[in-house]
Structure 1
Amino acid sequence: MLMETLTSEEFEKLKRETKTVVIPVGSVEAHGPHLPLATDLYTIYEVCKLVAEKIRVVIAPPLYYGLCRSTKPLPGTLSLKGEILKAMLLNIISEFYRYGFKNFFILSGHAGGTHGAYLIDTAETFIEMHKDVKFFVADIYKLLKPVLDELNIPENDSHAGEWETSLILYFKPELVKEGAFEDYPTFPKFRVVAEKEKYWSSGIWGNPLKASKEKGKILAEKLVEILVKEIELLEKEV
């Protein structure tokens, strides 16, 4: 159930029925001329809402912000420092733990590598302090990789491209604008560069022109199926 919609009494009842919390994490980040800045939040949060229809868990109010490196120079991107992201999540998780929750799913719509590393480090830090908890940490891109193969979407279509645009067309079609184009940027291998916009100015990494609402529906349903299965597996573990 969506925690933000519950009354205090309803939350008190729900915490006796489940020990599992799903924490959706997004980012506010440039996604080309055609997708909204909150794309990463919208995709994962809408999927989480569907998960809540299938299995009794708490869907925490989402965290809009994440850590963005490659897109930070682009208009509209708002990036948290990694230490702040970790501190916020540790605080949120600690509060749920105080209520007796023991199973934590940190699900990110943003697939940035450094961002993801901080999410994992958050789980590692908390589990060192509390041995009685379990964590599942994943981003939407990694979860979808097997499904992308089935739909013949190339693995390097990773940002505001075919699959991400398809999900927004399915969940929030009114927010998809004109102007999409194919782009596969190239960064110098093994280099850390200061002026990232020289190598990636579009905010697109893939081909959004191949996106469709129908593909978005398939992707969303597969994600829900995967996540429900993972929740059931984790809850059965002793």
Structure 2
Amino acid sequence: MKNLLLFIALLFCAPVFAQQLPTRWDELSAVDWPAALAKSNKTCVLPIGILEKHGPHAPLGNDLIHVREIAARVVKNEYAVVFPDYFYGQINEARQQPGTFALPADLIFKMLEATCDEIGRNGFTKIVIINGHGGNPEFLHFFMQNLLNKRHNYAVYLYEPSNDPEYNKQMAALHKSDPSYDMHAGERETSTIMALRPDLIHVERAGEQSGEDQKRLKLTNLYTPIWWYAGFPNHYAGVGGKASLELGRVIVDHEIASFTKALKDVKADTQTLKLQNEFYDKVDNLGKN
């Protein structure tokens, strides 16, 4: 009778335990692993940020904190496993500022592929990268294309939200500063972290340095890697002091809704890996017939 009651109690508690399954990789136990793989449909979210100055008022890990917090909120309702903090991206343009963590290009490339390989080795077949750093897209696009260099038993998806006219209208109505140079630690980024982690933002310091374009280079149809430093030597572009909680909440709500949809699509996707394997098979058999 005692065993029967214990069985019934465990039966009723099982859904509760399932709901409490941690979402962060580092908070799961080895015993949790099969359940996490099943519940996530073998999907792992990889938030990528950076460590760099964000004006005089925002945290060095601003970009990482941003995507980490968005991912944490999304997976509460759409379960996936979130990889621990990853800040190994491209940030050479901020090496003159204290707190910047910049690694060689070949190393960050190898580290990201090795990380994806290890995520795949642990049973995940779908890896979703959500990037928070404006200096990473070129690196990430090249990385994504280069994944076809050899067979992988997983698919990688780079989340890139599409243009949303209705959201743009909401943003324009609330935006107080010039959006043309609201690029780094300005009103938008500061508002976002204000909504996610208000304890890390010091708006009162935002006016201590200039975030205006210094326009120290006058080149037409030419690109140079020093362009950012030439324009924004303080590693600050925008007016962080114009940030508002209202704008931050609009941004955060939109990002959560958008990433939730993308994550659902990834979890339901059966074609990407199939087509990837078809591609690898044709590469392997090229010239054999």
Normalised by the size of structure 2, how large is the TM-score? 0.73
Q: How big is each residue's C-alpha offset from its partner over 1:138-165, in whole Å with a ceiling of 9 and x where there is no partner?
A: 4xxx638644553114254121011110
Pairing 1:199–2:231 present: yes
1:13 is aligned to 2:35? yes
Q: Name which of structure 1's ranges 33-42 and 212-221 shifts more when overlaid on structure 2.
A: 212-221
1:166 aligns with 2:187: no
Matched, 1:122 2:154: no
In structure 1, the residue matched to 2:254 is: 222
Richer in helix (by share): 2
What is the deviation of 1:207?
2.1
Aligned mate of 2:211, from 168, 178, 183: 183
Counterpart-to-counterpart distance in 1, 2:84 and 2:148: 22
Give the unaligned 5+ runs of structure 2: 1-22, 272-289
1:134 maps to 2:155: yes
| Offset of residue 126 of structure 1 | 2.6
Number of residues of Structure 1 aligned to a counterpart in Structure 2: 233
TM value normalised by structure 1 = 0.87
Distance 2:106 2:261 in 1: 31
The answer to whether residue 79 in structure 2 is matched with residue 47 in structure 1 is no
Of 53-62 and 152-161, more deviation after overlay is shown by: 152-161
- Among all aligned residue pairs of Structure 1 and Structure 2, give the percentage whose two residues are the same amino acid: 24
The match for 1:67 is: 90
Matched residues in 1 for 2:162 and 2:182: separation? 12
Write the letter of the residue equivalent to 2:61.
A
Q: Distance in 1 between matches of 2:241 and 2:92?
A: 25
Q: 2:58 aligns with which of 35, 39, 48?
A: 35
RMSD between aligned residues: 2.3
Structure 1: tracts of 5 or more residues without a match:
none
1:172-211 Cα shifts (integer Å, max 9, x gaps): 2122123213633245442426596453222221221221
Measured after TM superposition, the shift of residue 132 of structure 1 is 5.6
